[in-house]
Amino acid sequence: MGFTLTAAALPLATILLLRRGIEPRRPTALGAAIGVICGAWSSVVVAAWCPLTNAMHALVGHVAPVALLGLFGAIVGKWVLGLRQRGV
């Protein structure tokens, strides 16, 4: 779980910062999608390395981080990706 979250942290932060303030309609959904994509890619890399194959390990160590990253992306995406009104 730690390897997956660590491997996804930099791409997730980079994409969220590069695309900040661009989504006028659904920044939460876009943030969740970005989080899940970063989690899925990092999970593929970690799963290729991981020698364990039991179901509970796969669920907790490989699937749960993807869900957590999606939730984190949704929460942060609401604040980072949404359009803001500039003060005049």
Compute how many other C-beta atoms are within 10 angstroms of the C-beta atom of residue 19: 16
Is the model's pLDDT at 19 over the cut of 90? no
Q: 33 is written with which tokens?
A: 């999608």
Across 34-38, average pLDDT: 95
Is the model's pLDDT at 54 over the cut of 80? yes
Is the model's pLDDT at 53 over the cut of 90? no
Please check whether residue 74 is in contact with residue 39, taking contact to mean a CB–CB distance below 8 angstroms: no
Percent of the chain at pLDDT > 70 equals 95
Across 16-38, average pLDDT: 90
Is the model's pLDDT at 20 over the cut of 90? no
Does an H or E element contain 10, and which?
A: helix 2-18
- Name, in order, each residue with C-beta under 8 angstroms of 50's C-beta and a sequence gap of 6 or more: 61, 62
Question: How buried is 24 (Cβ within 10 angstroms: 0-12 exposed, 13-18 middle, 19+ buried)?
Answer: exposed
For the chain, how long is the longest CA-to-CA vector?
Answer: 58
